[in-house]
Amino acid sequence: MLRDKNLVPLSHQHHDALFLCVRIERAHAAGDFDVPVWQSEVRHKFEESICEHFQAEEKFLFPEAARYPELQTVVRDLLREHDTLRGYFSRAVAGTLDAEALLSFAEKLSEHIRKEERELFEGCQQVMPAEQLARVGAELDQALKHRPDACSVPSPETRLRPQKKK
């Protein structure tokens, strides 16, 4: 199903966050994984966009979606996941994530985004009247209008480097 235009700004931000997850996983797999640099990247992404993204979803989208019985369970799950992810972000700020925790973070964030896209957004598009989606979209647009929604260019420290030949 095509994404409703009122949910596209959130989907763009999801794309950016998924890009971060892929970069973390690839850097780890390549054996070129500087934990402090990645913690800084995670902290920066949270401060740059994810914090306000979560707040906008929780203030505008989730309450509207929770009006529909068929979406209440997924909204509850997503709220719990926001709390879990905030815990990872707090640990990144404190500098207490290790390589395994960073990989776990990337996995959990990726799963969370896919759940929002596949279950919540699809469900909203099926049950919400166009006027309600438009109202939610306008509120989200206003809340997120000053946040970036395009993929960030990786920093030199977190860009994958070619592996050294042995």
Flag whether 165 is in a domain.
no
Flag whether 69 is in a domain.
yes
Flag whether 155 is in a domain.
no
Beta carbons within 8 Å of 91's beta carbon, 6+ residues apart: 97, 101
Flag whether 45 is in a domain.
yes
Flag whether 154 is in a domain.
no
| CATH code at position 127 | 1.20.120
Flag whether 150 is in a domain.
no
Question: Cα–Cα distances in Å, from 118 out to 2, 25, 41, 112?
Answer: 11, 22, 27, 10
- In terms of pTM, does the model score above 0.75? yes
pLDDT along the chain (166 residues), means of 10: 89 93 95 92 93 95 98 98 97 95 98 98 97 95 71 44 42
Q: Supply the pLDDT for residue 66.
A: 98
**Domain that includes residue 86, residue range:** 8-144
Flag whether 157 is in a domain.
no
Q: Supply the pLDDT for residue 62.
A: 98
Flag whether 76 is in a domain.
yes
Number of domains observed in the structure of the chain: 1
First to last CA, the chain: 47
